[in-house]
Amino acid sequence: MEKRKRLLHYRKTKSPIHLECSLNLSKLFPTIQERERFEAKWPAFLESDPHNHEVYQLKRDSLIYRTEQLIPDKRDQRPPLLMVFGNPATHSISAGMFFAFKGDGKENRLWKNLLKPAGILDMAVDEGTPAMRNELRRKGMMGLDYVSPFRIGVCVYISMPSAAGGIWSGVAGVRKLIGSKALPRLESIERERIMHCARSFLEPGGSVVTFQKNAWEGLRSDGDPPYAIDVAKKGKLTGSLGGMPDIPLFGVPPTRLIGPCRKVLKKLLVQ
């Protein structure tokens, strides 16, 4: 009974980095007007990425979809670093790996142009088809088989996937679909999932870094500065994880700003 009452329910899948989510639309949209606006926007959102049809199912009052979360069970002596991004790209869900190689073989620049030169993570995956390289990277991340000063976990603040580009992309695309009133309702339970990850993955000496505004605002402690992109670019968006005051929390510029993001990551976490 409790399962049906929850706004959002998560279930593990056979994939080590996927969760199946079931979003209760009756609880997400308490008014007829909100639900009708969602229903009107849904077809355009669904068609915004070819992989949406594979990832999403709309069944009456339930929106069922897969999301991604990479929290390795394996441990070593390196301090844990939990990286929290905005929301998944639908094609990455389909490919089975965060920031996946695309079908044309092109690698997401996060790996080569951001994390590696910032000194956060170096994992060479140069051979094979895009599908093979995605699998190798996933196994390497789960097995801690990479060069890094950290033991890395990756999650998203908003579980709903969206297209990698266009008007329906990112957390802004999710907000456009469900509405500005519904998004905080969703965020309240998404934060519970993030905190569950944090408590199981982090330990003394660990830290959390957010790459998106909602993630920073939802995870920061009360006395920490509010999100401001200029403050993030200066490397001064720092505080502690709400509910875990011994864990440092860092807010860096979004990944689309590769240069500033790389510079701040290196400054806050490596130097």
Q: Mean pLDDT by 10-residue block, N- to C-terminus, for the chain (271 residues)?
A: 70 92 97 97 97 96 96 96 96 91 76 94 84 90 96 97 94 97 96 95 96 97 96 97 96 95 96 71
Domain boundary among the residues 15, 43, 68 is at 68
Q: Could you tell me which residues come within 8 angstroms of residue 168 by beta carbon, excluding any fewer than 6 positions away?
A: 44, 45, 48, 49, 162, 176, 177
Q: Are residues 137 and 241 in the same domain?
A: yes
Q: Are residues 33 and 123 in the same domain?
A: no
Q: Are residues 52 and 129 in the same domain?
A: no
Specify burial of residue 200 (Cβ count, 10 A radius: 0-12, 13-18, 19+). exposed
Residue 73 included in any domain: no
Residue 74 included in any domain: no
pLDDT of amino acid 130: 83
Domain boundary among the residues 41, 68, 95 is at 68
Domain count along the chain: 2
Residue 130 belongs to domain with CATH number: 3.40.470
Q: What is the DSSP string of the chain?
A: -HHHHSSEEEEE-SSTTEEEEEEEHHHH--SHHHHHHHHHHHHHHHTTSTTHHHHEEEETTEEEEEEE-B--S---SSPEEEEEES--BHHHHHHTSTTPPPTT-PPPHIIIIIITTTTS-B----SS-HHHHHHHHHHHHHTT-SB-SSEEEEEESS---B-SSSTT-HHHHHHHHH-TTHHHHHHHHHHHHHHHHHHHH--TT-EEEE-SHHHHHHHB-TTSPPP-HHHHHTT--EEEETTEEEEEEEE---TTSHHHHHHHHIIIII-
Parent domain of 50: 2-68
For residue 266 the two structure tokens come to: 């290196």
The tens digit of pLDDT for each residue in 42-69 reads 999 999 999 999 999 999 999 999 999 9
Q: Are residues 44 and 90 in the same domain?
A: no
pLDDT of amino acid 103: 61
Residue 264 included in any domain: yes
The tens digit of pLDDT for each residue in 196-241 reads 999 999 999 999 999 999 999 999 999 999 999 999 999 999 999 9
Q: Are residues 139 and 193 in the same domain?
A: yes
pLDDT of amino acid 1: 34
Q: Are residues 64 and 17 in the same domain?
A: yes
Is residue 144 within 8 A of residue 80, CB to CB? The reply is no
Is residue 94 within 8 A of residue 51, CB to CB? The reply is yes
Residue 243 included in any domain: yes
Q: What is the mean pLDDT of the chain?
A: 93
Domain boundary among the residues 47, 68, 89 is at 68
pLDDT of amino acid 106: 78
Amino acid letter, residue 18 = H
pLDDT of amino acid 125: 80
